[in-house]
């Protein structure tokens, strides 16, 4: 019962914040070290679950694009999950192909079912 009251209070607080427009603007944190296998990285409203290892050059490129490691246990924001096949194509692409694949990923019109 207590959990239900806590969830209801959180929903009410979120609605009040939205109505009063007192939400905090997202700030890009400084880049962190290279993420490990299984880490989640985020950019804007997109998230990627790293199911393969990346090298330093790939991580440097992604951080220049604004991607950051995110601990999802402490994050209440909703993100669109980038399909693992698209992530795999991006990470296996040559440097020449990478930008085109990246643009398709970030410009894709994600279905609301991918919001989590």
| Angle of the 95-107 helix axis to the 84-92 helix axis, nearest 10 | 160
SS3 category, 82: coil
pLDDT band of residue 94 (cuts 50, 70, 90) is very high
- What's the whole-model pTM score? 0.73
pLDDT for 4 equals 66
pLDDT for 24 equals 67
pLDDT for 26 equals 64
* pLDDT average, residue stretch 93-105: 95
Q: What percent of the chain has pLDDT over 90?
A: 55
pLDDT for 57 equals 95
d(CA 69, CA 72) in angstroms, rounded, equals 9
Does pLDDT of 84 surpass 90? yes
- The residue with tokens 């296996």 is 92
* pLDDT average, residue stretch 30-50: 91
């Amino acid at each position: 019962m207590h959990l239900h009251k806590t969830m209801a209070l959180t929903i009410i607080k979120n609605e009040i914040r939205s109505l009063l427009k007192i939400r905090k603007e997202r700030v890009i944190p400084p880049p962190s070290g290279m993420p490990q296998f299984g880490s989640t990285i985020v950019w804007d409203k997109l998230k990627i679950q790293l199911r393969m290892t990346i090298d330093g050059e790939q991580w440097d490129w992604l951080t220049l694009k604004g991607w950051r490691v995110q601990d999802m246990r402490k994050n209440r924001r909703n993100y669109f999950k980038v399909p693992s096949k698209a992530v795999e194509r991006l990470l296996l692409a040559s440097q020449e192909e990478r930008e085109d694949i990246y643009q398709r990923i970030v410009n894709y019109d994600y279905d609301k079912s991918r919001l989590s």
